[in-house]
Amino acid sequence: MEITTRSLWTLIHGMGFGALYLLACSGALVELYRRYAPAAGDVISACDESFLRIYLVVMAALAWLTVLTGAYIIYPWYRAVPPAGTTNLTAFPQRLLMANPSTVAWHSLGMEWKEHVAWLAPISMTMAAGVMMQYGRDLKKHPQLRAVVLSFMWISLLAAGVAGFFGAMLNKNAPVEGGPTIRLMHGE
Amino acid sequence: MAGAVTEKNPTGANSASASLSNGPGAAAVLAAGIGAFMVGLFAVLADKSAAIKSLMVFSKPTGPLSGVTTTAIVVWLTAWAVLHVRWRSKTVALGTINVAALLLLALGLLLTFPPLEQFPN
């Protein structure tokens, strides 16, 4: 069982950072919606407050790791220009997609949207983490602030979802492959 | 947005206090809206103008995306810092600021959508 270096980085970017961010989003939304509502009866302990602070900071870090690995490690491999006369475009995913009318929209719509919209997630989540760091359990006393933070978090989930969906579909239609091969396991 | 500032927090409370004003939160929210809008705006500008597209190539392997996002991040963080300093001990009209921030966020989201980003090409 082998995997190429580029494929491994794609996995780290998408399945590691990106998917973990998407999973974590639902937990943060539920916690902030349920526990920090002004009408919520239960008292938020210092431990719970610290937990959500750390949780949101980790989420913001995950979002940044996702977009930075995507933009600066994987995207250059994706958009690499083949030398003149190249007929096998397997190592040039963008050109491979653009060479076929049935796949060109995965680039012109999918990648063009994904590469920009994904950045709304770290911006939104860093704001949410920053607000939580400053206000902590006092956020219960600022319902308008809590509501707008929740709205930004929903948009960050949407942005990450769009990026994740197109990332998966792009990699299905034109995988980012190449580089040294890593042998994970010997077959029998 | 200066008119949205209604009163100064009389306590001058620090961040750990229960009476923390809404100013620092409003600064973070509005700055995030500005940052999101800037991502969309710079993406459109780089798409429309070859000169701007060329200027936005901060990292050659990544291309204009590197400049679009780095510039948006710089604007966002600068806006956050400036607004935070101005509003850190103030109570502001959060409703108005929330609407502005959400509008900017929605615009940012729309401007990144390729059919709109490339309109009317």
Q: What is the pLDDT of residue A95?
A: 96
| Domain total in chain B | 1
Indicate the residue of A79, A127, A144 with minimum beta-carbon distance to B28.
A127
Q: Is residue B91 part of a domain?
A: yes
* Cis status, amide bond into B120, omega within 30 of 0: yes
Q: Is residue B15 part of a domain?
A: no
Q: What is the pLDDT of residue B6?
A: 54
Distance CA A61, CA B39 (A): 19
Residue-range definition of the domain harbouring residue B72: 21-117
Interface test with A, best of B29, B103, B107 (most A CBs within 10 A): B29
Chain A residues inside the 8 Å CB shell of B72:
119
| pLDDT by 10-residue block (mean), chain B, 121 residues | 51 49 97 98 96 97 98 98 96 96 97 81 59
Chain B residues inside the 8 Å CB shell of A67:
69
Interface touch B102/A148, C-beta < 8 Å:
yes
The alpha-carbon gap from B1 to the nearest alpha carbon of chain A, in Å, equals 17
Q: What is the pLDDT of residue B15?
A: 42
Neighbouring CB atoms inside 10 A of B116's CB total 13
The pLDDT profile of chain A, 188 residues, written as one tens digit per residue, is: 999 999 999 999 999 999 999 999 999 999 999 888 877 777 888 998 999 999 999 999 999 999 999 999 999 999 999 999 899 999 999 999 999 999 999 999 999 999 999 999 999 999 999 999 999 999 999 999 999 999 999 999 999 999 999 999 999 999 999 889 999 888 77
Q: Which residues contact B4 (CB under 8 A, 6 or more apart)?
A: B26, B92, B93, B96, B97
Q: Is A2 buried (19+), middle (13-18) or exposed (0-12) by CB count in 10 A?
A: exposed
Distance CA A39, CA A25 (A): 23
Chain A residues inside the 8 Å CB shell of B102:
148, 151
Interface touch B28/A144, C-beta < 8 Å:
no
Q: Which residues contact A87 (CB under 8 A, 6 or more apart)?
A: none
Q: What is the pLDDT of residue A24?
A: 96
By C-alpha distance, the chain A residue nearest B101 is A148
Quick: pLDDT tens for B78-111.
Answer: 999 999 999 999 999 999 999 999 999 999 999 9
- Find, among A163, A21, A125, A67, the residue nearest to B32 by Cα: A125
The alpha-carbon gap from B34 to the nearest alpha carbon of chain A, in Å, equals 10
ipTM rounded to 2 decimals: 0.92
Q: Is A38 buried (19+), middle (13-18) or exposed (0-12) by CB count in 10 A?
A: exposed
Distance CA B68, CA A1 (A): 39
Q: Is residue B1 part of a domain?
A: no
